[in-house]
Amino acid sequence: MLAALLGAVGALALPPLHLLPALLVSIPGLLLLLDAQPRAGRAGWIGLAWGWGHAVAGIYWVTHAILFDLANFWWLVPLAAPGLALPLAAFAVPPALLAWALPAGWPRLFGFAGAWVLAELLRVFLFTGFPWNPLGSVWAFDALPVQAAAVIGVHGLSLLTVVLAGLPAAARGWRPFAIAASGLAALAVFGAWRLAVPEASVPDTRLILVQGNIAQELKWQAAQREANFRRYLDLTRQALAAEAAAHPGSRLVAIWPETASPYLLAQDTEAREQAAETLPPGATLLAGTVRAEWDATNRLQAVWNSLVAVNDDGVVAGVYDKAHLVPFGEYMPLSGLLPIRLAAGGMDFSAGPGPVAVTVPALPPFGVLICYEAIFPGAIASRPRPDWLVNITNDGWFGTSSGPWQHLAAARLRAVEEGLPLARAAQTGISAIFDANGRRLGRLPLGVEGTLAAALPGPGAPTPFAKFGLWLPAALALAALALGWALRGRVVSAAGNTREGPV
């Protein structure tokens, strides 16, 4: 129970609270608990309990999505967050076992930190991947502390976070505080150096994010379809007219959130024409929509969660299909053996081909991240490299919980890692625009209807992380493991023995 509580305390450092001192209790507390265990089995259970408490407190918001179909899934309400947290907690067991096996102090701290990051990296790939809330995201409250992600990625930040937070359990007296202060100062200096570069923008290109704030329970109601579409049309028309008057001659780009259009824009000519009527000459609409294909007998063959680019003539100028789909939401894993589908519709979505640079006439090429895809570091930008990123999402599933804030933090980190500006349009918020260094240029709050306009930020140079991806944090994690093992030999030699019992 104490381990689970310590894990939950550590989750207070995650968005939106960012209470970083909580980690100075959570991680040292875990390491001290592990030190008190007489057997490896007990240490494994302690690690599992800590990971479970941390995950439940971090992803409690998944329960909110079930409330939209309470009649069918009422039984999942008490099980969803604890159940999803259990496999996530399992990733904390190997780091806990390794920490228990290593001598207390520096060997344990570095060994635990390296193993923790390797476990985070496994979460990117195993079981379709769910790298939500990596520990490095605790720094995403501002652009300054996350600049190191341009080199080592969010998982490299996780390594630094574990080491800094675990210092009280590794050394006594003034040393851990001096080392922590030095580490924080180094992060701040590096961040300030990168942010000293002035913000760049693409000449005469303006972005307009449209946040309709349509409640999830109303989104797919047939009676509300026309009203929902009309809301986006009206917001777009007003915002583009104002921008055209304020910035004559500029290229205007309106961005709608994930599946904002209740009509199939790629196929529905009438809906596209209505959307095109809101666009001044030369303007482009990037809209989230479902895309479908039928066979020769008019039978529905496949559907995609897509972004469709529509020009002022009502012509489809570009398409991106979501590649990384959400299990139990957009498709049924395990061939449908578990009869749980939280999203509406009885047909699985098809997956797109993966990251591509979408090219639309008169616009710089852009990459697209639809909702869930924004949480996967190192799998964002295509080759050739786009000039900017568009993230469309529907976080209405999560209400006013911490979920939208955690998703926003992931988007900011992707911008810093790749050195690319990112425009994020969310159905109920939080919509925002970040430059290539993760500086926020504007934001629409959660739960409001409105639009946000800003100049399109310019791309940065490819970062080290953009070039080498997850290999960099993986190498750092292995180096931390090797350091912990090397220090183990010194501790053992000095002590003359180690903990009794099986490792």
| Residue range 354-383: mean pLDDT, rounded | 89
Would you say residue 343 has pLDDT above 60? no
| Residue range 415-434: mean pLDDT, rounded | 96
> Tell me: the pLDDT tens digits for 403-412?
999 999 999 9
What pLDDT was estimated at residue 336? 53
Residue of 120, 219, 371, 373 marked active site: 371
Residue of 243, 258, 330, 373 marked active site: 258
Report the residue count for the chain: 503
- 258 catalytic per annotation: yes
- 330 catalytic per annotation: no
| Residue range 182-206: mean pLDDT, rounded | 91
Residue 220: strand, helix, or coil:
coil
Residues 6+ apart with CB under 8 A from 377: 124, 131, 134, 153, 154, 155, 413, 414, 417, 465, 469, 470
Would you say residue 312 has pLDDT above 60? yes
Would you say residue 74 has pLDDT above 90? no
Of the candidates 443, 456, 454, the one whose C-alpha atom is nearest the C-alpha of residue 411 is 443
Global pTM reads 0.90
- What DSSP character marks residue 11? G
Name the average pLDDT for the chain: 90
What pLDDT was estimated at residue 335? 57
Would you say residue 430 has pLDDT above 70? yes
Low-confidence winner among 24-28, 212-216, 261-265, 377-381 (lowest mean pLDDT): 377-381
Would you say residue 301 has pLDDT above 90? no
What pLDDT was estimated at residue 503? 38
What pLDDT was estimated at residue 281? 93
Low-confidence winner among 58-62, 284-288, 363-367, 493-497 (lowest mean pLDDT): 493-497
Would you say residue 80 has pLDDT above 50? yes
Residue of 120, 219, 322, 330 marked active site: 322
- 449 catalytic per annotation: no
What pLDDT was estimated at residue 244? 93
Would you say residue 502 has pLDDT above 70? no
Distances (CA, A) of 356 to 124, 202, 321: 20, 21, 10
| Residue range 42-67: mean pLDDT, rounded | 91
Structure tokens at 306: 């897509």
| DSSP state letters, 345-413 | SSSPPPP------B--TTS--EEEEEGGGGG-TTSS--SSPPSEEEEEE-GGGGTTSSHHHHHHHHHHH
Q: Which helix (H) or strand (E) holds 282?
A: none
What pLDDT was estimated at residue 497? 46
Would you say residue 500 has pLDDT above 50? no
H-type helices in 419-470, by residue range? Answer: 464-468
Structure tokens at 270: 């009438």
What pLDDT was estimated at residue 110? 95
Positions of CATH 3.60.110.10 in the chain: 201-459
What pLDDT was estimated at residue 389? 96
Which CATH number is associated with domain 201-459?
3.60.110.10
Band (pLDDT 50/70/90 cuts) for residue 341 is low
Residue 295: strand, helix, or coil:
coil
State which amino acid sits at residue 219.
Answer: K
Low-confidence winner among 44-48, 108-112, 292-296, 409-413 (lowest mean pLDDT): 292-296
| DSSP state letters, 45-90 | HHHHHHHHHHHHHHHTTHHHHHGGGHHHHGGGTTTHHHHHHHHHHH
Would you say residue 171 has pLDDT above 70? yes
Q: Is beta strand 366-370 parallel, antiparallel or unpaired with respect to 251-255?
A: unpaired
Check residues 384 and 238 and name the one with the higher pLDDT.
238
